[in-house]
C-alpha cells in the first residue's frame, strides 16, 4: 500500500535536483551506461515491435507487395460491414467481459481480503493459498478443467446438480449463445480473483493498528469500521486492481481460445478482440492470415487500452484522496 501510494503520488522536487552543484562541463556518462541495458532491451522487445505493428497497419498486400494505404485499413475495419460487424461485436463482448470482472471480481476480492485480514480467523494461510491457487495455474489447465466440469457428457456439474434434484437446471452453458460469454467470464473471475484479493489484503495489513484502535475507542466496529476506516484507505489499491483488470480483459484471448477455439463459438458469441485478432492475423482453417488487417486490429486494441488507462490516470487517479499513514 505504502509503496503503491508513493509511486502514484506526485514526487516532490528534491533539493538535489535544483542545486546543480556539478560543473556544467562534466558529462555524466554513467547515467547513459546505467540506462542503456534496460533501454536497449525495452526498445528491442517492446518499442520496435509496437512501432512495426503500427507501420504494418498502414500497408496492404497487393500481389504480394506491400502498398501504402494510409488509414484505409482502419476505415475498412470500422465501416465495411464484413469487418465492422465482427469488430464491434468483439468490442461489445470485451466491454461486457470487463464489466463482469469489475462488478464481480473486485467486490469479491475486497470481501475475501477483508475476511482474511480478520485477526481471529483460523486457517488463514490455508484459505489464502486456496483462493490464490487458481491464479497460479496455467490457463490451459483452467480451461480444460472447467470444460470437463461443465461437460454434459462426463462433467461433474450435471451429476452434482442431479444429486440435489436439480438436473433440469443444467444446461450446456458453454455451448449456448446466451450463456457462453457469461460462463467464460465467471471462469475468468474464478481464476483471477486471487490478484485483487492479495493486493487488497496487503493494503489492509498495512493499515496501522493505532488507527483501528482509535476507531474502536470511538465506538466504530464491525462492518461500520470496514466501511468508514478501512475502505477509504484501500481505494487506491482497488484503483490499481481495476486498471490491471481492464488491461488484462481487453487483451484476453487465452481462455477463450482454450475453451471455445479460435472461432469463439457458438456463432461468435464469445468473440473478443483477442480472438478476432488471432483469426485475422494468423488465419483460420481456409482463411489465410492477413498481417495487415491483423495489425490494424492490434493497433485498435492498443488505442482502446491507451484511452482507458489515460482516462483512469487523469480522470480518477488524480482525484483520489490519499491519506498518509
Partner 1 sequence: MRMTKAAWVLSGAALVMAAPALAADATLTIESWRNDDLPTWQEKIIPAFEKGHPGIKLNFQPTAPKEYNAALNSKLDAGTAGDIIACRPFDASLELFKKGQLTSVNAVPGMDHFTAVARAGWSTDDGQTAYCVPAAAVLHGFIYNQDAFAKAGIQQPPKTSDEFFGDLEKLKKDGTYVPLAMGTPDQWEAATMGYQNIGPNHWHGEDGRKALIAGQSKLTDPAWVAPFRELAKWGPYLGDGYQAQSYPDSQNLFTLGRAAIYPAGSWEIAQFAAQAQFKLGVFPPPVPKAGDPCYVSDHPDIAFGMNAKTKNAEAAKTFLAWVASPDFARVYSDSLPGFYSMQTQSAPVTDPLAQQFLAFRTACKSTMRSTYQMLSRGTPNLENEVWVASANVINGTETPEQAAQKLQKGLDSWYKPAK
For partner 1, the closer CB: 35 or 178: 178
Task: Indicate the Cα dihedral angle 133, 136, 137, 143, nearest 10°.
Answer: 90
Q: Which three cell numbers stand for residue 279?
A: 483469426
Tell me whether residue 198 or residue 264 sits nearer to partner 1 (CB atom): 264
Q: Which residues bind partner 1 (CB under 8 A)?
A: 64, 82-83, 147, 150-154, 158, 170-177, 260-263, 265-268, 282-290
Rounded to a whole number of angstroms, the minimum distance from the CB of residue 175 to partner 1 is 3
Cβ at position 157, least distance to partner 1 in Å: 10
The answer to whether residues 260 and 270 touch, using CB atoms and an 8 Å cutoff, is: yes
Q: Which long-range contacts (CB under 8 A, 24 or more apart) does 67-70 make?
A: none
Nearer to partner 1, 64 or 120 (CB): 64
Euclidean distance between CA atoms 228 and 54, whole angstroms? 47
**Residues pairing with 217 in the sheet:** none
CB of 283 to partner 1, least distance (A): 6
Cβ-contact 133, 308 below 8 angstroms: no
Three-class secondary structure of residue 175 per DSSP: helix
Minimum Å gap between C-beta 160 and partner 1 is 15
Q: Which is nearer to partner 1, 43 or 176 (CB)?
A: 176
C-alpha cell of 95? 466491454
Shortest separation between residue 33's beta carbon and partner 1, angstroms: 34
**Which residue shows C-alpha cell 498502414?**
58
Beta bridge partners of 192: none
Judged by beta carbon, residue 234 or residue 295, the one nearer partner 1 is: 295
Amino acid at each position: 500500500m505504502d509503496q503503491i501510494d508513493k509511486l502514484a503520488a506526485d514526487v516532490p522536487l528534491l533539493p538535489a535536483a535544483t542545486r546543480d552543484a556539478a560543473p556544467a562541463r562534466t558529462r555524466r556518462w554513467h547515467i547513459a551506461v546505467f540506462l542503456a541495458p534496460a533501454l536497449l532491451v525495452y526498445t528491442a522487445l517492446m518499442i520496435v515491435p509496437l512501432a512495426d505493428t503500427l507501420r504494418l497497419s498502414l500497408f496492404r498486400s497487393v500481389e504480394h507487395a506491400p502498398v501504402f494505404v494510409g488509414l484505409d485499413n482502419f476505415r475498412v475495419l470500422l465501416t465495411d460491414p464484413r469487418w465492422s460487424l465482427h469488430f464491434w461485436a468483439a468490442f461489445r463482448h470485451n466491454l461486457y467481459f470487463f464489466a463482469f470482472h469489475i462488478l464481480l471480481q473486485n467486490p469479491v476480492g475486497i470481501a475475501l481480503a477483508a475476511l482474511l485480514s480478520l485477526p481471529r480467523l483460523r486457517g488463514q494461510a490455508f484459505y489464502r493459498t486456496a483462493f490464490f491457487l487458481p491464479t497460479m495455474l496455467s490457463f490451459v489447465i483452467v480451461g480444460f478443467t472447467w470444460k470437463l466440469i461443465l461437460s454434459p457428457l462426463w462433467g461433474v456439474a450435471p451429476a452434482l446438480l442431479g444429486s440435489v434434484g436439480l438436473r433440469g437446471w443444467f444446461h450446456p452453458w458453454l455451448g449456448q449463445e446466451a450463456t457462453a460469454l457469461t460462463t467464460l467470464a465467471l471462469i475468468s473471475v474464478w481464476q483471477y480473483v486471487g490478484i485483487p484479493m492479495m493486493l487488497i489484503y496487503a493494503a489492509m495489513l498495512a493499515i496501522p493498528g493505532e488507527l483501528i484502535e482509535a476507531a474502536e475507542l470511538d465506538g466504530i466496529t464491525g462492518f461500520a469500521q470496514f466501511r468508514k476506516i478501512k475502505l477509504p484507505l484501500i481505494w487506491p489499491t482497488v484503483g490499481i486492481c481495476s486498471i490491471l483488470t481492464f488491461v488484462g480483459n481487453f487483451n484476453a484471448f487465452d481462455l477463450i481460445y482454450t475453451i471455445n477455439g479460435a472461432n469463439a463459438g457458438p456463432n461468435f458469441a464469445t468473440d473478443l478482440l483477442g480472438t478476432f485478432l488471432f483469426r485475422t492475423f494468423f488465419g483460420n482453417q481456409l482463411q489465410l492470415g492477413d498481417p495487415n488487417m491483423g495489425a490494424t486490429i492490434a493497433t485498435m486494441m492498443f488505442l482502446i487500452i491507451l484511452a482507458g488507462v489515460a482516462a483512469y490516470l487523469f480522470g480518477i487517479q488524480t482525484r483520489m484522496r490519499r491519506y498518509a499513514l
